[in-house]
Amino acid sequence: QVQLVESGGGEVQSGTSLRLSCAASGFTFRSYGMHWVRQAPGKGLEWVAVISYDGNKKYYGDSLKGRFTISRDNRKNILYLQMNSLRTEDTAVYYCAKDLEYFDNSDYFDYWGLGTLVTVSS
Partner 1 sequence: QSALTQPRSVSGSPGQSVTISCTGTGSDVGGYNYVSWYQQHPGKAPKLIIYDVSKRPSGVPDRFSGSKSGNTASLTVSGLQPEDEADYYCCSYAGDYTLRVYLFGTGTKVTVL
Taking the least distance from each CB to partner 1, the nearer of 5 and 12 is 5
- β-strand pairing of 92-99 with 78-83: unpaired
Provide the minimum distance between the beta carbon of 84 and partner 1 in the complex, in angstroms, as a whole number: 21
Provide the minimum distance between the beta carbon of 83 and partner 1 in the complex, in angstroms, as a whole number: 19
Taking the least distance from each CB to partner 1, the nearer of 8 and 14 is 8
Where are the extended beta strands (E) located within the chain?
3-7, 10-13, 18-25, 34-39, 45-51, 58-60, 68-73, 78-83, 92-99, 109-112, 116-121
Cross-strand partners of 34: 51, 98
What is the contact surface with partner 1 in residues (CB under 8 A)? 35, 37, 44-47, 50, 57, 59, 61-62, 95, 100, 106-110, 112-115
Provide the minimum distance between the beta carbon of 98 and partner 1 in the complex, in angstroms, as a whole number: 10
Taking the least distance from each CB to partner 1, the nearer of 17 and 108 is 108
